[in-house]
A and B are shown apart, each in its own frame.
Chain A
Amino acid sequence: MTTPILELNDVSVDFDGFFALTDLSLSLSHGELRSIIGPNGAGKTTFLDVITGKVRPTKGSVSLRGASIVGLSEQKISLLGVGRKFQTPRVFENLTVTRNLELAASPTKEPFSLMFKKLGPTAKDEVHRLMDYVGLAPFAKVLAGSLSHGQKQWLAISMLVAQSPDIILLDEPVAGLTDEETNRTAELIKSLAGEHTVVVIEHDMEFIRDLGAPVTVLHQGKLLTEGTLDEVKSDPKVIEVYLGQAD
């Protein structure tokens, strides 16, 4: 096996005595698509916080392409190629759809180049391509704040793609979407895998099945099991944490 693009080793996060993650080890190889499930409070979001630099692990190591990223700021990790979509669709509500995407797609994030340089044609084309792809082209000049929930989700995802990160972390990408939108999102995500490494956190099992990717189950901050969806579903440990102990 080639060296993993992202590797977590014995990562623990201690919030004043409460362990959100306990000795979690996980590795992702380049181009992999991975689903992560787990009941509420399993540490799924903390797991993303640790990777993206929002939360510093109390113990353990996180390395990207073999180099440690523990202690780096969020923007540095982002520039190293880790992109994240939040649980709620976070977009810049007072900017238009185009401008949201242009900010994300901008190859430079430095104040003075933003002041004096125009966005290059490649980035502009990418913005148009993405808007067409997710069906937001008719809303190009609409403020992101007035989009519907599903459109905001897609805008958030396409902003992530516009950043063109090597690793795409999606926290509940289909929450609140219609079935049709969910199917389309699954397609989009599958098309991203291969070129990018994609991690999807979801509660929607149908959607996880659509993705057809290896599933990792987290429970109380620990890695419970890994496998295909069917393997995982028939695992007694998983059934126990989801449905409670069978008497």
Chain B
Amino acid sequence: MKLFKKLIPWLLLAFAFFVLPAILSQFRLNLFGRYFSLAIVALGIDLIWGYTGLLSLGQGIFFALGGYAIGMHLLLVTQNDFTTGANGLPKFFENYGVDNLPFFWQPFWSFPWTLIAIWLIPAIVAGLVGYLIFRNRIKGVYFSIITQASLMVFYHFFNGQQKLVNGTNGLKTSTTEIFGMVVGSDDAQIVFYRITLILLPFAYLLCKFLTSGRFGDALIGIRDDEARLRFTGFNPVPFKVIVYLVAGGLAGISGALYTIQSGIVSPQYMAIPMSIEMVIWVAVGGRGTLIGPIIGAVLVNYLRSLVSEALPEAWLFVQGGLFIFVVVLMPDGIYGWFKNGGFMSMLAAFGLAKKSATYPKVDMDEGYAAES
């Protein structure tokens, strides 16, 4: 039974990998591919928030940076009428009269560099931002505010730079080509779906490695009582920088996968609501567990699709309601609720299962009950 429980996530993964492509329509499958890619950024948020207590409201920065990295590469290497302008550069440059490729685009001709840049650039940015924040002992709500402010800085920068990254329009990747396939085509999309499902467990295992050993204990120590940890001789700064950096790298990978599956990367990924929603997924799924954020990201986004298809205006209300519901009734999220026996006690409340024995002596011992 225990072994079976351990196997469930891997069985679900295999199911998603092998069975879903056969039974879902291309449209639906593509949506699930996006959900699974979002689960990767959620894992990173869980690492920093659920385990280390750092509530970052700026993960959109790193998510979008990963998306831009793959987007730039795709636009550069594709030579077709949709994406390439007369001067051989991506078409949007024509609109702004740019004839020379901005210098930072140059390395993105290279595919290997792009594969590295997708996670390395967000990780470095996260590491730098994190180091400056943590070194100055900024924590709690101030940390959240600073991350959100950084998010706005990035958002406005990317929005305003038409000549560099096409400003508010973003980079459209669906018409680009990779390895002879159009990125937006069904054939390419199923490959991306599978790549996402291969990377997701790696992200999970990385987080598992970081959280399960003594390093993970120190993270929990930082979350519970950082000052105490300092007096025990630990310097919390490098620990926090490392996890923030890892979360940034995961966000970048997630953003790149999301970009190729949704067909565009734009500054909207750095809009404030997007980053807050990421946090909501983790809260709904269950922070402080590694399965929780995956469940949360997939479930909330699936729900979003369903609700938006039926009642396009209603989603924000449903999302807000869901968040409140979880915070009030399931503080540990859906997975935490199951893990702590919430499901059984709900059944018990409806009289469908035996009540759990909170005070075994009182509940179980008939003589005891008779005496009183």
Given contacts A75-B235, A94-B220, A114 and B230 within 8 Å (CB-CB): no
A114 and B213 contacting across the interface, CB-CB below 8 Å: yes
* Alpha-carbon gap, A93 to B229, bound state (A): 12
For A115, what are the chain B residues with a Cβ–Cβ distance below 8 Å?
Answer: 209-210, 213-215
Pick from A13-21, A38-46, A97-105, A200-208 the stretch touching chain B.
A97-105
For B235, what are the chain A residues with a Cβ–Cβ distance below 8 Å?
Answer: 73, 75, 109
B224 and A102 contacting across the interface, CB-CB below 8 Å: no
A52 and B231 contacting across the interface, CB-CB below 8 Å: yes
Q: Kindly provide the distance from the CB of A164 to the nearest chain B CB, expressed in whole angstroms.
A: 11
Q: Which of B214, B220, B224 is A106 in contact with, Cβ under 8 Å?
A: B214
* Alpha-carbon gap, A113 to B239, bound state (A): 12
A94 and B218 contacting across the interface, CB-CB below 8 Å: no
For B232, what are the chain A residues with a Cβ–Cβ distance below 8 Å?
Answer: 75, 78, 103-104, 109, 159, 163
A163 and B233 contacting across the interface, CB-CB below 8 Å: yes
Q: CB within 8 Å of A: which of B127-183?
A: none
B225 and A92 contacting across the interface, CB-CB below 8 Å: yes
With an 8 A cutoff between CB atoms, is A121 at the interface?
A: no
Q: Which chain A residue shows the least CB distance to B242?
A: A111
* Alpha-carbon gap, A110 to B242, bound state (A): 12
A119 and B224 contacting across the interface, CB-CB below 8 Å: no
With an 8 A cutoff between CB atoms, is B228 at the interface?
A: yes
With an 8 A cutoff between CB atoms, is A26 at the interface?
A: no
Q: Mark contacts of A78-96 with chain B using CB atoms, 8 A cut-off: 1 yes-contact digit, 0 otherwise.
A: 1100011010001111110
Where chain B touches its partner, the secondary structure class is helix
For B210, what are the chain A residues with a Cβ–Cβ distance below 8 Å?
Answer: 115
B227 and A74 contacting across the interface, CB-CB below 8 Å: yes
Query: What is the number of contacts between chain A and chain B, taking CB atoms within 8 Å?
Result: 76
A86 and B228 contacting across the interface, CB-CB below 8 Å: yes
Q: Which chain A residue shows the least CB distance to B288?
A: A94
With an 8 A cutoff between CB atoms, is B363 at the interface?
A: no
Q: Which of A78, A79, A86, A114 is B218 in contact with, Cβ under 8 Å?
A: A114
B215 and A99 contacting across the interface, CB-CB below 8 Å: no
* Alpha-carbon gap, A199 to B264, bound state (A): 64
Given contacts A90-B225, A93-B224, A94-B224, A99 and B217 within 8 Å (CB-CB): yes
For B215, what are the chain A residues with a Cβ–Cβ distance below 8 Å?
Answer: 111, 114-115
Q: CB within 8 Å of B: which of A38-82?
A: 52, 54, 73-75, 78-79
With an 8 A cutoff between CB atoms, is B315 at the interface?
A: no
Q: Kindly provide the distance from the CB of A108 to the nearest chain B CB, expressed in whole angstroms.
A: 9
Q: Which chain B residue shows the least CB distance to A79?
A: B233
* Alpha-carbon gap, A94 to B289, bound state (A): 13
Considering only CB atoms and an 8 Å cut-off, how many residues of chain A contact the other chain?
29
Given contacts A94-B224, A111-B238, A115-B210, A73 and B217 within 8 Å (CB-CB): no
Given contacts A74-B230, A109-B233, A115-B213, A103 and B221 within 8 Å (CB-CB): yes
Q: Which chain A residue shows the least CB distance to B209?
A: A115
Q: Kindly provide the distance from the CB of A93 to the nearest chain B CB, expressed in whole angstroms.
A: 6
Q: Kindly provide the distance from the CB of A103 to the nearest chain B CB, expressed in whole angstroms.
A: 6
* Alpha-carbon gap, A99 to B229, bound state (A): 13
For A159, what are the chain B residues with a Cβ–Cβ distance below 8 Å?
Answer: 232
With an 8 A cutoff between CB atoms, is B323 at the interface?
A: no
For A84, what are the chain B residues with a Cβ–Cβ distance below 8 Å?
Answer: 231
Q: Mark contacts of B196-226 with chain A using CB atoms, 8 A cut-off: 1 yes-contact digit, 0 otherwise.
A: 0000000000000110011101101101110
* Alpha-carbon gap, A110 to B218, bound state (A): 10
Q: CB within 8 Å of A: which of B233-251?
A: 233-235, 238-239, 242
For B209, what are the chain A residues with a Cβ–Cβ distance below 8 Å?
Answer: 115
A75 and B225 contacting across the interface, CB-CB below 8 Å: no
Given contacts A75-B234, A78-B232, A103 and B224 within 8 Å (CB-CB): no
* Alpha-carbon gap, A106 to B234, bound state (A): 10
Q: Which of B214, B220, B223, B231 is A114 in contact with, Cβ under 8 Å?
A: B214
A78 and B221 contacting across the interface, CB-CB below 8 Å: no
* Alpha-carbon gap, A102 to B216, bound state (A): 12
For B218, what are the chain A residues with a Cβ–Cβ distance below 8 Å?
Answer: 103, 111, 114
Given contacts A92-B225, A93-B224, A103 and B214 within 8 Å (CB-CB): yes
* Alpha-carbon gap, A110 to B231, bound state (A): 14
Q: Kindly provide the distance from the CB of A80 to the nearest chain B CB, expressed in whole angstroms.
A: 9
* Alpha-carbon gap, A247 to B21, bound state (A): 92
Q: Kindly provide the distance from the CB of B210 to the nearest chain A CB, expressed in whole angstroms.
A: 7
For B220, what are the chain A residues with a Cβ–Cβ distance below 8 Å?
Answer: 92, 94-95
B217 and A111 contacting across the interface, CB-CB below 8 Å: no
Q: Kindly provide the distance from the CB of B13 to the nearest chain A CB, expressed in whole angstroms.
A: 25
Given contacts A75-B235, A109-B235, A95 and B213 within 8 Å (CB-CB): no
Interface centre among B209, B223, B228 (most CB of A within 10 A): B228
For A110, what are the chain B residues with a Cβ–Cβ distance below 8 Å?
Answer: 238
* Alpha-carbon gap, A95 to B224, bound state (A): 9
A95 and B230 contacting across the interface, CB-CB below 8 Å: no
B234 and A109 contacting across the interface, CB-CB below 8 Å: yes
For B229, what are the chain A residues with a Cβ–Cβ distance below 8 Å?
Answer: 92, 103
For A86, what are the chain B residues with a Cβ–Cβ distance below 8 Å?
Answer: 228, 231
Listed by A's residue number, 27 A-B pairs whose Cβ atoms lie within 8 Å are A52-B231, A54-B227, A73-B235, A74-B230, A75-B230, A75-B233, A78-B231, A79-B233, A86-B231, A90-B228, A92-B220, A92-B225, A92-B228, A93-B224, A95-B217, A95-B221, A95-B224, A102-B214, A110-B238, A111-B218, A111-B238, A111-B242, A114-B213, A114-B218, A115-B209, A115-B215, A163-B232
Residues of A bordering B, CB below 8 Å: 52, 54, 73-75, 78-79, 83-84, 86, 90-95, 99, 102-104, 106, 109-111, 114-115, 119, 159, 163
Since A75-B232, A78-B230, A90-B225 are in contact, a sample of 4 more A-B pairs with Cβ atoms closer than 8 Å, ordered by chain A residue number, is A92-B221, A103-B218, A115-B213, A115-B215
